[in-house]
Structure 1
Amino acid sequence: MNRKSPARRRPSSLRVAAAGLVLAVGLGVSAQGSAQASVHTVAKVPAAASKSVTAVKPAAAAPKSVTGTTGQVVTRVADFYGAYIDAKGDYENPDAALAKALRTHYLTPDFAKRLVAWEEKNGVDGVLRAQNVPTRWTVKDNGTLGHSHEVTVTLTFGSGRNTQETKLFVLVERYNHISDIATQSAH
C-alpha cells in the first residue's frame, strides 16, 4: 500500500491514546470557558415575535475534573485502574498487550506471579476480581502500613438499579509498585 492509496491504515493504540488526551485537554479548556459564563443567557427573539416572550437557555453543566499529583500513591493507583479498565473495557477491540504492559509497569514482579496463579485458580481477572469490566470506579486513600500504603478501590459493575460494588484494598510498596490486591483491608 502506498501513501496515496485510499485504503486507511489502522492507527496504533499509542497514537489513539495521544489523540484522546489532546482532545480531552482541548475539550476541558473549552468546556471550562463555557462553564464560566453566566448561569442563564437570554436567547434573542426575532423582531417579528412578541416582545414579551423571551427564551431562557439553561447553563451548561460544569465540566468534571480529575486532579493528580506525581508521586502520590492514590493518583498512581487511580492511573493504573483507569488505564487498565480502558484497555480491558473496549469490547470491540480490547488491548490485551496494553493490559499486560500495565501490569508489568505497576505491579511488583512477585505480586504479578502470585496474581497469575490466583487468576488460574479462580477463573477471573485478578486486578478487577471479576470476569467483566466495571462501569465506574473510585479510588481513596486508606492510610500507611509500615513502609507501604493502602488504597481502597471501589468498582461498580452494571448500571441503573442493577449495580454491584466490589471493594478492593490495594497495597502499594514504598517504591510505588502494587504489591497486593485483596478484598479485606490489612489494617
Structure 2
Amino acid sequence: MNRKSSAHRRPGRRAAVAAGLVLAVGLGVSTQVSAQASVHAPAKASAAASQSVSGTFGQAVTRVADFYGAYIDAKGDYADPDVTLATALRKHYLTPDFAKRLAAWEKKNGADGVLRAQNVPAQWTVSDNGAVGNGHEVIVTLAFGSGETTQKTKLFVLVERYNHISDIATTSAR
C-alpha cells in the first residue's frame, strides 16, 4: 500500500515535481512524477520516526499515488496554489476524453473533480482494487478535516492499459 501525507509542506518538492514533469513531457518519456526516493516523516517529540514510500514503474497503484500526491501538493497551498502544475498534471495523467468529462462534471457540481470536493484533503491512502476489463482499478481514500470532524471520501480510479486515468467515480466499476 502506498501512503503519502501532506501534513507538512515540502516547498522544494513542488519545484522538483514541476521540473520532472516538464522534463518528462519535453523528452516525450512517460515517467513517474514523484518524490518517492526520499520521503521522510517529521520528527516526533519523543523520538525520530521515518516513513517509507515505494512504488514500481508502470504499476497502476504507484501511478495513481504519484498523481494524487503531486496534485494535492499543487492544490493544497492555500496561500499560493500552483494552478499551472495542477493543470499540467491533469494533462499528463488523464486521458483527453476523461479530462473533457471531468471538466463538465466540475462545471455542473462546482467542485474539483479529481478530489470530488471544494477543498483539499489532509490525508490520503491509495490501494489496489484489481483488474477491471482492460484496465485496473485503484481505490483512493481522501480524509478531510481532523479529529471528530474528519470525513472520508472513497474514490475508484480506473487506469487504462496505457497507464492514463480514464475515470474517477464514487462507486466501483467491478
Scaled to the shorter chain, the TM-score interval is 0.7 to 0.9
Corresponding position of 1:54: none
TM (norm. structure 2) is 0.76
- Aligned counterparts of 2:69 and 2:169: Cα–Cα separation in 1: 18
Distance 2:163 2:17 in 1: 27
| Alpha-carbon offset, residue 169 of structure 1 | 0.2
Aligned pair partner of 1:80 in 67, 76, 95: 67
Q: Partners in 2 of 1:103 and 1:126 — Cα distance?
A: 11
* Secondary structure in structure 1 of the residue aligned to 2:54: coil
Percent of aligned positions with the same letter in both sequences?
73
Residue type of the partner of 2:49? A
SS at match of 1:161: helix
Runs of 4+ in 1 over 2 A off after TM superposition: 13-18
Q: What residue in structure 2 maps to residue 177 of structure 1? A: 164
Q: Distance in 2 between matches of 1:178 and 1:108?
A: 6
AA of the residue aligned to 1:141: D
Structure-2 residue corresponding to 1:145: 132
Structure 2 residue 146 is the aligned partner of structure 1 residue 159: yes
The equivalent of 1:14 in structure 2 is 15
Answering whether residue 166 of structure 2 is matched by residue 168 of structure 1, we say no
Aligned-pair Cα RMSD in Å: 2.3
For the pair shown, which has the larger CA radius of gyration, 1 or 2?
A: 1
C-alpha contact 2:18 2:85 (8 A) present in aligned 1: no
**Counterpart of 1:142 in 2: which secondary structure?**
strand
1:121 aligns with one of 86, 99, 108: 108
Of structures 1 and 2, the one with the larger relative CO (CA 8 A, separation 6+) is: 2
Q: In structure 1, what is the Cα distance between the partners aligned to 2:102 and 2:81?
A: 20
Instruction: State the partner residue of 1:64.
Output: 51
Structure 1 residue 125 displacement after superposition: 0.3
**CA separation in 2, counterparts of 1:135 and 1:15?**
21
Paired with 1:76 and 1:15, the residues of 2 have a C-alpha distance of: 17
Counterpart contact for 2:157–2:165, Cα < 8 Å? yes
Q: Which amino acid is the alignment partner of residue 135 of structure 1?
A: A
- Determine helix, strand or coil for the equivalent of 2:150: strand
Question: Whole-Å Cα distance in 2 between the matches of residues 116 and 64 of structure 1?
Answer: 35
Q: TM-score scaled to structure 1, two decimals?
A: 0.71
Contact 2:137-2:156 at 8 Å conserved across structures: yes
* Counterparts in 2 of 1:15 and 1:155: CA distance versus 1, 3 Å: closer
Unaligned runs of 5+ in 2: 1-11, 20-33
Whole-angstrom CA distance in 1 between matches of 2:167 and 2:131: 14
2:99 pairs with 1:98:
no
1:99-131: CA deviations, max 9, x gaps?
000000000000000000000000000000000
